[in-house]
Chains A and B, each alone.
Chain A
């Protein structure tokens, strides 16, 4: 009785394999069919609105990308006829890119992160301007972010984000960070260094890396590292001096209205204090402090902000702190000598009188 069952299984397997092989062949054939039009340079379509759709696809771009083994219809799954009876839909990467997929796409938390992000939420809410995967990663020539030719390679990020965030891109480009990045400096932060990638959240979202409660830690990633900061003449102790300041302490205890790094230095316009356009240039300090301290005057600029009382550069503050330290330590030393002598005399007397020295003190000696 087992013969016919086994035969059926075997037959089914063979048919499945055959069908799979046919599908692969068909897909490959489909590619040829697709490219008969889309492979022609200059292939385009003018929409009724006058917008021109570039429809040429360089087949080598796919072959060099991470999707080199995929075929056109793997992603453009809704295309089955040529010419297309209706405009093909935008490709949905989520067909493969979800956790638990069997298509070989990487299993990553990023898919979930994106859903929680400001972009993912806007997309889910139906915002047509919200970015999808392709807006940042490109379409046919997708490469890992670690590759220089990738659209999401570090130094390409500002342009990618800047396509939508025009104004911020302009501010960033002129900032100390943007200028360094444009010079090819690998230390310089790009958008994602502070905002994250797939998990970008609004600054007012407390889970955001640039929220009032977290931004100081985000800046500290680089700004607390002496190895990086000494190259640019910036003090790494600015992080510690902020943490020790009233603003930093308030922030530590969850008072989110207290000033954080960005409150004074701005988020994207960051410029050295020596630059007259900088928010922390002495001439602009009253205005900057005035955002939270109404009526702030020139007195606010008359003194330093990041003060380290343990460093000579703090001037009088350093000397006052040192003076008190010496005073306290020498007083303590004096006290311990005093206490030591007190005990010494008491012990001597006790020895002399034998046994208890008397409840009354040694000084009570007649």
Chain B
């Protein structure tokens, strides 16, 4: 994965990762659009979206299709992480370490005062790790609460109404939390931050410009140079 591209690019995402990212993106868009339309049902735009989906019934189909996609991609991710060496390496790189806190602090001081060194991030920056784990836990939480909400008939046969209500508030609250993280954090990160503007193309081409890779993942870059002997 450290192979150099022909025009000064570095591989950032494998084909499998890009496919997973695309499916995840489509699933989340379907879920967020149909979900927010329900949460903000009294708004005109929500009515327009629901009408576009063919009414409440159509909205339910869109939401549940998105949910199935999300669950499938989540299961694939968890299984692949456990069976494929490549995925495992990625997974290990995403595990938060005490050094992330230190790197975060260094970055904070450097940004505030300009003193010290710019942070030497690895394959995933501390912020990216944060995002990943929030989305990972979010998927778990949304999946579990969504499963309870899926069929009131079935779930109320098993759980009391009070449990159903807790799942409902968890589902809508976590959804809005995840939406904020994706919208503000992730989109900032890949479109605006670190010289990525207008966009980090890795999700489409799988590759990143060398200079950007170096500036954003200096730690990994340095070890890459050592590893390849360049």
Contact = CB atoms under 8 A, between A and B. Distances in A.
Given A295-B153, A338-B127, A341-B108, A317 B169 contact: yes
Interface string A282-309: 0000000000011111011111110101
A241 B75 CA distance: 36
A320 B169 contact: yes
A303 B161 contact: yes
Given A335-B185, A339-B188, A324 B173 contact: yes
B132 to A, nearest CB: 15
Contact of A304 (B50, B127, B153, B165): B165
Contacts of B84: none
A359 B195 contact: yes
Interface string A331-346: 1100110110110110
B56 A332 contact: no
Contact of B184 (A307, A332, A363): A332
Interface residues of A, number: 51
B96 interface: no
Contact of A293 (B156, B193, B195): B156
Q: Name, among A294, A320, A359, the residue most crowded by chain B CB atoms within 10 Å (CB to CB).
A: A320
Given A293-B153, A303-B161, A345-B114, A363 B177 contact: no
Contacts of A342: 111, 193
Contact of B161 (A255, A295, A301, A341): A301
A93 interface: no
Nearest to B125: A363
A312 B110 CA distance: 44
B193 A303 contact: no
B124 interface: no
A33 interface: no
Question: At the interface, is chain B mostly helix, strand, loop or mixed?
Answer: helix
Nearest to A316: B166
Contacts of B184: 332, 335-336, 339
B71 interface: no
Nearest to B152: A293
Contacts of A296: 156
A250 interface: yes
A361 B193 contact: yes
Interface in B160-181: 160-166, 168-170, 173-174, 176-177, 180-181
Chain B interface bracket (under 10, 10 to 19, 20 to 34, 35 or more): 35 or more
B161 A320 contact: no
A166 interface: no
B150 to A, nearest CB: 13
A360 B180 contact: no
A338 B214 CA distance: 20
A316 B160 CA distance: 14
A336 B168 CA distance: 29
Interface string A190-204: 000000000000000
Nearest to B104: A338
B215 interface: yes
Contacts of A335: 184-185, 188
Given A317-B165, A363-B119, A302 B160 contact: yes
A320 B173 contact: yes
A307 B108 CA distance: 43
A360 B169 contact: no
Nearest to A255: B56
B216 interface: yes
Interface of B: 38, 41-42, 50, 55-56, 108, 110-112, 114, 118-119, 127, 152-153, 156-166, 168-170, 173-174, 176-177, 180-181, 184-185, 188, 192-195, 211-212, 214-216, 218
In the A-B complex, the 5 residue pairs with the smallest Cβ-Cβ separation, listed nearest first, are A303-B161, A324-B173, A303-B162, A364-B215, A302-B160
18 contacts: A249-B56, A252-B41, A255-B56, A296-B156, A300-B156, A305-B161, A315-B162, A317-B165, A317-B169, A320-B173, A327-B177, A338-B127, A339-B192, A341-B108, A359-B195, A361-B215, A363-B218, A365-B118
Given A361-B195, A361-B216, 11 more contacts: A293-B152, A295-B157, A301-B161, A303-B161, A328-B180, A341-B108, A360-B211, A360-B212, A363-B118, A363-B218, A364-B118
